[in-house]
């Protein structure tokens, strides 16, 4: 299956990062390479991009697209966690850095891959790992206690029925192993059926919570933000696209703290969050929840 990902807020990211010829940028979440290729185009002929991702399929797709666009010689791709950003930059001697982008969303390819288990309809294993080393979601679902499950459902999914769903999972696995995403989604539907014309699947919050727990998303985000600011040159910019309130809260609070402390080290480029246009949402409905925040290092 071809790796497909439509980069969200691409125009807005490029406008706010202000890439110039010869500048170096870091794309901490390469995905299908949309933001990366746009940055390489704007920084030609000598600017470089360091691209990170935990998903080897995403890196392969970015490599192919960069080769087709004849910019691969200016691209460095690394399969690693962006929580290790400072070490990666030091190892590759990638300096100076004029801008950094983090797009925290899932790709269409990841959602469509039956073996990844991100989609409610997936009949493959409930995996949900971005990379290879973490504990898979099916291992959490089938081994963690009711209280542990309820805690992550409430904390990372803000699910009001966390205790009830956790109890149902524990009862269900006494009879049979919960293997697929569809198994879990069907179980949740028995507790939270569709009502009226709601478009949001009742299992959305539980799947979000599991994905965050599996990939330690909030912990890694908290680790990378100070590293990113440290790495940037004075006048360099950091752009972050988030897709749910927990991520956005981490980004917003960090940016505000660093901009309003006694000795501020960044300034806010957009005091109000940047959202996709009506036309972008119409062409790519998954963009509807995206929020872009940008700061500039002082």
Q: Is the pLDDT of residue 264 over 90?
A: yes
User: If you ran DSSP here, which 8-state letter would residue 135 be given?
Assistant: P
pLDDT digits (tens, 9 = 90+) for 66-124: 999 999 999 999 999 999 999 999 999 999 999 999 999 877 677 767 778 788 888 88
Cis omega before residue 45 (within 30°)?
A: yes
CATH number, span 10-109+221-297: 3.40.50.150
- Domain spans of the chain? 10-109+221-297, 135-215
Cis omega before residue 147 (within 30°)?
A: no
Beta-bridge partners for 242 = 291
Based on its alpha-carbon atoms, the radius of gyration of the chain, rounded to whole angstroms, reads 20
Q: Is the pLDDT of residue 23 over 90?
A: yes
89-215-245 Cα angle (round to 5):
95
CATH superfamily of 135-215: Putative methyltransferase TM0872, insert domain (1.10.150.170)
Global model pTM greater than 0.75: yes
Cis omega before residue 96 (within 30°)?
A: yes
What's the rounded Cα separation, in Å, for the pair 242 and 104? Answer: 5
pLDDT of residue 255: 98
Q: Is the pLDDT of residue 139 over 80?
A: yes
pLDDT of residue 4: 56
What's the rounded Cα separation, in Å, for the pair 67 and 239? Answer: 26
Q: Do domains 10-109+221-297 and 135-215 have the same CATH topology?
A: no
């Amino acid at each position: 299956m071809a790796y497909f990902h439509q980069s969200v807020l691409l125009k807005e990211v490029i406008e706010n990062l202000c890439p110039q010829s010869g500048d170096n940028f870091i794309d901490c979440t390469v995905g299908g390479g949309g933001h990366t290729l746009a940055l390489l185009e704007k920084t030609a002929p000598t600017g470089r991009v360091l691209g990170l991702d935990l998903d080897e399929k995403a890196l392969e797709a970015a490599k192919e697209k960069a080769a087709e666009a004849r910019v691969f010689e200016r691209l460095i791709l690394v399969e690693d966690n962006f929580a290790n950003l400072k070490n990666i930059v030091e190892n590759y001697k990638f300096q100076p850095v004029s801008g950094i982008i983090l797009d925290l969303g899932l790709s269409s390819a990841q959602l469509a891959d039956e073996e990844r288990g991100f989609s409610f309809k997936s009949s493959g294993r409930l995996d949900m790992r971005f990379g290879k080393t973490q504990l898979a979601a099916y291992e959490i679902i089938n081994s963690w206690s009711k209280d542990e499950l309820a805690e992550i459902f409430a904390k990372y999914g803000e699910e009001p029925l966390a205790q009830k769903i956790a109890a149902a999972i524990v009862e269900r696995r006494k009879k049979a192993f919960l293997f697929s995403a569809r198994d879990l989604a069907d179980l949740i539907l028995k507790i939270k059926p569709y009502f009226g014309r709601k478009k949001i699947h009742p299992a959305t919050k539980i799947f979000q919570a599991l994905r965050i727990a599996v990939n330690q998303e909030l912990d890694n985000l908290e680790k990378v933000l100070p590293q990113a600011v440290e790495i940037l040159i004075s006048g360099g910019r950091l752009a972050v696209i988030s897709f749910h309130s927990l991520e956005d809260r981490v980004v917003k609070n960090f940016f505000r703290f660093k901009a309003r402390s006694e000795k501020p080290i960044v300034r806010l480029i957009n005091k109000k969050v940047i959202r996709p246009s009506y036309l972008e949402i119409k062409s790519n409905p998954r963009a509807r929840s995206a929020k872009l925040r940008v700061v500039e290092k002082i």
